[in-house]
């Protein structure tokens, strides 16, 4: 048997590509390059092993290591891409509505009566759009959101806004966020706008931002454009779908 000749160059290339791919396969977006490097490295690794066996070259361990790293990088890339895609979808879609009931602020006045009314007034999630003021929507995460009242008011700069009084009640098991920028509005021309940033003399009544513990409730006012005819709750700054909407006029 002849002595082994020099190492397979293809095996070395496979190892280099495998190391590069395994390093960047955890990074979102960039890990697309990891998949490409992994596939190319996998091809080089297979070629290297076949040539090593045929021509009695050295470097089989290097080629095998490159193959393993390339395969791992491809698997990890597919797994992380799935996780990132799911997280992105959740961030942009926002929470889904589960039921509609009377406003929780009214229900708090008489809990027992409200419970009976709610049982008879639950609706399908598809009916969570264009609700009347005073209706509340309970989301799948247990958070209940309602628009309790609508008014117009001028800020300290004498600019007129439509103010909606909203209430969040966390009936879930985990903390949840609340923010005035959970809300958007639609005007008579169909233009959709973010909640406004305005300064009012009585700032204590305005909805702030923060976290709501399970069982907690917070109420505040959200400023919208004066010509708003509909308020939409999206449940997150990056959500692109309405979880629910209320007619204001």
Q: What confidence tens digit (pLDDT) does each residue in 127-151 have?
A: 788 999 999 999 888 999 999 999 9
Give which of 126, 216, 140, 138 is closest to 177, Cα–Cα.
216
Give the containing element (helix H, strand E) for 192.
strand 192-194
pTM of the model: 0.58
Comparing 17 with 91, which gets the higher pLDDT? Answer: 17
Q: Which of 42, 72, 93 is the last residue of a domain?
A: 93
**What is the pLDDT averaged over residues 212-229?**
95
If asked whether residues 85 and 102 sit together in one domain, one would say no
Q: What is the pLDDT of residue 1?
A: 46
If asked whether residues 108 and 141 sit together in one domain, one would say yes
Q: What is the DSSP string of 120-169?
A: HH---GGG-SSBPTTEEEEETTSEEEEEEEEEEEE-TT--EEEEEEEEEE
How far, CA to CA in Å, does 38 sit from each of 52, 67, 178?
Answer: 20, 9, 43
- Number of structural domains the chain divides into: 2
Q: For all residues of the chain together, what is the average pLDDT? A: 83
If asked whether residues 115 and 209 sit together in one domain, one would say yes
Q: Which of 93, 114, 130 is the last residue of a domain?
A: 93
**What is the pLDDT averaged over residues 231-239?**
78
> Containing domain of residue 84, as a range?
5-93
pLDDT tens, position by position, 75-105: 999 988 888 877 766 655 556 655 666 665 4
If asked whether residues 176 and 223 sit together in one domain, one would say yes
If asked whether residues 132 and 176 sit together in one domain, one would say yes
If asked whether residues 136 and 86 sit together in one domain, one would say no
How far, CA to CA in Å, does 110 sit from each of 113, 115, 116?
Answer: 6, 9, 10
Q: Which of 93, 122, 147 is the last residue of a domain?
A: 93
Comparing 87 with 41, which gets the higher pLDDT? Answer: 41
């Amino acid at each position: 048997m002849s002595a082994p000749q020099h190492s397979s160059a293809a095996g070395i290339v496979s190892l280099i590509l495998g190391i590069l791919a395994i390093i960047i396969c955890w990074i979102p977006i960039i890990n697309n390059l990891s998949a490409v490097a992994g596939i190319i490295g996998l091809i080089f690794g297979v070629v290297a092993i076949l040539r090593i066996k045929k021509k009695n070259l050295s470097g089989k361990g290097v080629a095998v290591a490159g193959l393993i790293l390339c395969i791992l990088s491809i698997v990890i890339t597919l797994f992380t891409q799935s996780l990132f895609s799911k997280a992105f979808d959740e961030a942009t879609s926002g929470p889904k509505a589960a039921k509609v009931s009377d406003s929780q602020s009214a229900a708090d006045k008489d809990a027992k009566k409200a419970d009976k009314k709610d049982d008879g007034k639950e609706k399908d999630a598809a009916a969570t759009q264009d609700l009347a003021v005073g209706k509340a929507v309970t989301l799948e995460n247990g958070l209940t959101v309602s628009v309790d009242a609508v008014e117009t008011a001028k800020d300290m700069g004498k600019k007129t806004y439509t103010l909606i009084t909203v209430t969040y009640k966390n009936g879930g098991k985990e903390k949840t966020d609340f923010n005035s920028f959970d809300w958007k509005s639609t005007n008579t021309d169909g233009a959709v706008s973010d909640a406004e940033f305005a300064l009012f003399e009585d700032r204590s009544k305005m909805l702030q931002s923060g976290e709501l513990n399970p069982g907690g409730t917070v109420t505040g006012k959200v400023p919208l454009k004066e010509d708003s005819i509909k308020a939409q709750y999206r449940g997150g700054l990056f959500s692109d779908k309405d979880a629910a909407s209320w007619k204001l006029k």
